[in-house]
């Protein structure tokens, strides 16, 4: 049975505005300018490491920044809503027999809070929180082994170029979604297996197998 693993922020949860607000609240402490609308559009074309460089955060402060950023996200957790249409998509996937899980850089506690708030926590077999950068790749590789799943039968759904990279490095099917952080152009450049515009296309792409990068 195929296992579908989701990123959380930007994929299941509509986090973009909260991410921007958190980034701007930390600007003074980490000595960078709050993001302008032009900079926000630029950031949506970059990966995590490139964003840190653009903000001028030195590597030795990156861990501290990440910890503070997570604290800011937790402060705004009550404002976090699900992506429009994702609840229906998840229920449809579950009713078709797909197994669902989550691998995310956000904390497990935050994810569980939001899932319980919307009464969809029962849809997921597991949540691996706090997985950052290359940690997602390691976790996805371990998942294929622990769940006795052929990597080809494991799908990772995410909204960032790092999600596509992690899936491809492990040999998984990669679904990139255009409703999250990175924009469509930069996601397409990373050649995911599927590039989707709306949550209801997830089931279509898996069941029909013809919703390719070119046709999405």
What CATH code is carried by the domain that includes residue 101? 3.40.50.1000
Sequence-distant (≥ 6) Cβ neighbours of residue 84 within 8 angstroms: 14, 199
| In a shared domain, residues 39 and 145 | no
Q: Which domain holds residue 28?
A: 16-79
Catalytic positions:
7
Residue 146, pLDDT score: 76
The length of the chain in residues reads 216
Backbone angles phi, psi at 8, to 5 degrees: -105, -65
Closest CA relative to residue 135, chosen from 163, 157, 155: 163
| In a shared domain, residues 107 and 62 | no
| In a shared domain, residues 107 and 65 | no
Question: Which of residues 52, 79, 106 is at a domain's end?
Answer: 79
| In a shared domain, residues 203 and 138 | yes
Digitized pLDDT (tens) for each residue of the chain, 216 residues in all: 689 999 999 999 999 899 899 999 999 999 999 989 888 888 888 877 788 888 888 888 888 888 888 888 888 899 999 999 999 999 999 999 999 999 998 889 999 999 999 999 999 999 998 766 547 888 888 887 777 567 678 899 999 999 999 999 988 999 999 999 999 999 999 999 999 999 999 999 888 764 444 434
3-class secondary structure, 180: coil
Domain count, the chain: 2
Residue 168, pLDDT score: 92
Beta strands 173-177 and 154-158, pairing class: parallel
Domain for residue 66, yes or no? yes
How is residue 25 written in tokens?
A: 């609240």
| In a shared domain, residues 180 and 196 | yes
Residue 83, pLDDT score: 97
| In a shared domain, residues 93 and 137 | yes
* pTM of the predicted model as reported, rounded to 2 decimal places: 0.88
| In a shared domain, residues 62 and 113 | no
Answer positive or negative: Cα dihedral of 206, 210, 213, 215. negative
Domain for residue 159, yes or no? yes
Question: Which of residues 79, 100, 118 is at a domain's end?
Answer: 79
**182: alpha, beta or left, given left = phi > 0 and alpha = psi -120 to 50?**
beta
Question: Which of residues 58, 79, 100 is at a domain's end?
Answer: 79
| In a shared domain, residues 179 and 92 | yes
Domain for residue 213, yes or no? no
Closest CA relative to residue 37, chosen from 13, 16, 9, 58: 16
Domain for residue 22, yes or no? yes
Residue 73, pLDDT score: 84
Domain for residue 214, yes or no? no
């Amino acid at each position: 049975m195929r296992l579908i693993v989701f990123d959380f922020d930007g994929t299941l949860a509509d986090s973009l505005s909260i991410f921007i607000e958190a980034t701007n609240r930390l600007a003074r402490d980490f000595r960078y300018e709050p993001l302008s609308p032009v900079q926000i559009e630029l950031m949506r074309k970059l990966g995590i490491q490139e964003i840190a460089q653009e903000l001028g955060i030195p590597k030795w402060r990156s861990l501290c920044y990440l910890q503070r950023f997570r604290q800011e996200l937790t402060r705004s957790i009550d404002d976090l809503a699900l992506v429009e249409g994702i609840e229906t998509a998840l229920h449809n996937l579950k009713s078709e027999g797909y197994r669902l899980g989550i691998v995310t850089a956000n904390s497990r506690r935050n994810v569980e809070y939001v899932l319980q708030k919307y009464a969809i926590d029962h849809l997921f077999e597991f949540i691996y929180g706090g997985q950052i950068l290359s940690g997602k790749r390691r976790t996805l590789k371990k998942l294929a082994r622990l769940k006795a799943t052929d990597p080809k039968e494991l799908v990772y759904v995410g909204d960032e170029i790092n999600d596509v990279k992690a899936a491809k490095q492990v040999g998984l099917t990669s679904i990139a979604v255009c409703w999250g952080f990175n924009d469509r152009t930069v996601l397409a450049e990373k050649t995911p297996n599927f590039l989707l515009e709306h949550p209801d296309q997830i089931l279509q792409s898996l069941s029909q197998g013809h919703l390719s990068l070119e046709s999405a």
